[in-house]
Structure 1
């Protein structure tokens, strides 16, 4: 029986690895293809036009990549900051209208982004937030907050607030209670939520374009016009850059979590 389970698990692992690597392999082929028409399985010819473009504009592209990373990290930090108290309220307290609040929090995931951006854009123009970095950060919170609140809320429903109450009874301040009790319990969820929020913010195109007005340039803003114009070679190369950045930060978040729980040479996860 164990051999059957092991064999099945290996088959699933190989299947998922194949399904995950196949799109990346196709992107790599697109990025070096000169001509690739149906029904040919492989491109008819190859060139390095996309990578020459990246090298020639490397300094400018690097600035955009670092700007996009900084923007997404800022959104991630603010989202987690707002999500913790909201998740605690929804996960540990019962109050009238709680179900309605939970539904309202999830509405940005249900309503199309174009609807949100169009409605808020006029409001942002009046506030002077249109075409600004601050306006883009705020609009990115709309699709990111539901993920952060939802993930942390599930953890609060499990751990409750009994540990915090005990610490407060023993004389710990609110800050010490949060840093020494709540934060370690929430850390796995915070890292997981941060990883997801970063990718969601990093990949925002429509919201950034409408609210940023083309003045706030991110990697997604540069990449999507090539996709819309059908330039699969450039789109493939820039997609590889996009995936590489996301993958690096996935590894960074995972490393942060492991280091956080490394105590006296032992790993507790």
Structure 2
């Protein structure tokens, strides 16, 4: 399987100021892609974890691609429509959409869902509805391209408890959304999948672990945010892209299937047997 997209290509990665979105955007840009990166952060002080869309775009440029930072509030449907209208004006097509934008409550207190801030439910707006809106506007551009891919960033929280019911509903909903969009898009050779990421080495994760007592900090290697981007690039180029369309896929297992490793050459481990998972990859192919 090829590890990169052949020929010029255009991608949109939402929620790419930092974390998973930033890593995915950088990995997609490295082979020379034009990557539109969206988010609300234009200043590092906009988030306690730093990072801006402009910084991400600059890193893509340095890596050999073309990064285009577009400030978008993904709760604003008109702003999202204008983003894809711009892509259409610039290129008339789109290869890949990665839906990663999410409104996550910072420093939510531990406890049962009714004891947490009600705005935890905002994740169902920016994180689920926003995926639908972005896909709605992206679909005509993907179809015009003659081959396309929509990826919703997923997690084991779709089937196991993680951060509470709003998070679980968002992840399970994103899986189902990809499955149903795949059915509508299949006649146009456009795929839609959800890719479950493992524990990521992100700014948020580092800050969280640094605040824990030394004895409580987890050990072991975490996935780089770029790993999922490398997997997405290889999936787009893969011969069996349409066979995998509609599936929720564990990134570590998909990476092994496609022959993709992390940036340090290691192979991330699937957490299927500790956290649950979707149907196994080999069953989805045969």
More strand by share: 2
User: Would you say same fold, with TM above 0.5?
Assistant: no
Larger-gyration structure (1/2): 1
TM-score, normalised via structure 1 length: 0.27
Q: Which has the higher contact order (CA 8 A, sep 6+)?
A: 1
Instruction: Using structure 2 for the length normalisation, give the TM-score.
Output: 0.26
